[in-house]
Amino acid sequence: MSDYIPVLITLLLGVVIVAAMSNLNRLLGPRKMTAIKGEAFECGNEATGPGWGRFSIKFYMVAILFIVFDVEVVFMYPWAVIYRELGVFGFVEMAVFVLVLAVGYAFAWRKGAFEWR
């Protein structure tokens, strides 16, 4: 079990830091509430409509495709770092991986997932 003590420490540190951050802010910061400050923050734009408003499914399509290809790059970084040690085997493995993703990409393209209609 002693192997897991670092994990426990990290966990505790995480909880303590988050709790400290959010509560220190409340203790130290001045709080002068105005009408504008009370509004929901939407990336600097003025908030409009209720929070449960409906969004076009197009946004979800883009988000899902982004996640897929975003995660792909996460795999590629460590692969690139030890590329020389892996040699031909590593190249072929990554080629197979990219090929599988390419099929998915072609599928999304063919089915019109990239068209902003």
Partner 1 sequence: MTQAINSGLPLIVACSWALLLIVVEMFSGDRRFVGVAWMGVIGLAVTAAMSVHYASVPAVYGNALALDGYAVYFNLLACTLGAAAMLLSIDYLGDAGIVRGEYYSLMFFAVIGVVIMAAATDLIVMFIGLETMSMAVYVLAGIRKSDLRSNEAALKYFLLGALASALLLYGVALLYTITGSTVLADVSKALSDTQHAGADHLVLLLATGLVLIGFGFKIAAVPFHLWAPDVYEGAPTTVTAFMATAVKAGGFAALMRTVLVALAPMRAELAPVLWGAAAVTMTLGNVVALRQTSLKRMLAYSSIAHTGYLLVGVTAGTNEAGSSVLFYLAAYGAMNIGAFGVMAALARRGRGCEKISDFSGLAQTHPAMACAMALFMLSLTGIPPLGGFVGKLYVFTAAMHAGLVWLVVIAALNSVVSAAYYLGVVRTMYFDNAPADVLPPARPYAAVVVAVAAVVTILLGVAPSPVLGSAARAFSKVLLG
Binding site for partner 1 (CB under 8 A): 1, 4, 100, 103, 106-107, 110-111
| Ramachandran angles phi, psi of 115, nearest 5° | -85, 125
Q: Least distance from C-beta 41 to partner 1, angstroms?
A: 29
Q: For the beta carbon of residue 48, count every other beta carbon within 10 angstroms.
A: 8
Q: CA 57, 63, 64, 65 torsion: positive or negative? A: positive
Q: Least distance from C-beta 7 to partner 1, angstroms?
A: 10
The residues with which 45 forms a beta bridge, in sequence order, are: 42
Nearer to partner 1, 18 or 103 (CB): 103
Nearer to partner 1, 4 or 41 (CB): 4
Q: Least distance from C-beta 1 to partner 1, angstroms?
A: 8
| Ramachandran angles phi, psi of 45, nearest 5° | -80, 155
Nearer to partner 1, 31 or 54 (CB): 54
CA angle 76, 78, 80 (to 5 degrees): 65
Nearer to partner 1, 7 or 36 (CB): 7
Q: Least distance from C-beta 15 to partner 1, angstroms?
A: 19
* Residue indicated by tokens 């409340």: 26
